[in-house]
Amino acid sequence: NAGVTQTPKFRVLKTGQSMTLLCAQDMNHEYMYWYRQDPGMGLRLIHYSVGEGTTAKGEVPDGYNVSRLKKQNFLLGLESAAPSQTSVYFCASSYLEADDRSFMMNTEAFFGQGTRLTVV
């Protein structure tokens, strides 16, 4: 059980290049997220998905696109990279479970190890 795996771990891009970050989870989680982390900014939600075939915008979606064609994979695309997209990117997944009143609640997020992206 590998948990959440991100590919690649490191990448350097030139301005204007495109790339796709892959996130794979083997825990059968419904929810998947992409965050970026910059110094002093904490984790900011880029896009998220509540299930296969669905995506939604987070706090900072501009310049990114995502796809969730398979439940276990969540792809983050940069169509035309900019230096402002230099960051550490984290993928995470979670699932729903019932609380003591049988309400469905979101669990904690399980994180991948991160991708360090530098755009020059």
Partner 1 sequence: RKEVEQDPGPFNVPEGATVAFNCTYSNSASQSFFWYRQDCRKEPKLLMSVYSSGNEDGRFTAQLNRASQYISLLIRDSKLSDSATYLCAVSVRAGGFKTIFGAGTRLFVKA
For partner 1, the binding residues (CB under 8 A) are 31, 33, 35, 40-45, 48, 50-51, 54, 56, 58-59, 90, 92, 94, 96, 103, 105-109, 111-114
Give min distance, CB of 47 to partner 1, in A. 10
Which amino acid makes up residue 30? E
Whether the CB-CB separation of 32 and 45 falls below 8 Å is answered with no
Closest alpha carbon to 6 in 111, 97, 100, 84 = 111
Residue closer to partner 1 (CB basis): 63 or 114: 114
- Rounded to whole angstroms, how far apart are CA atoms 34 and 21? 10
Nearer to partner 1, 51 or 83 (CB): 51
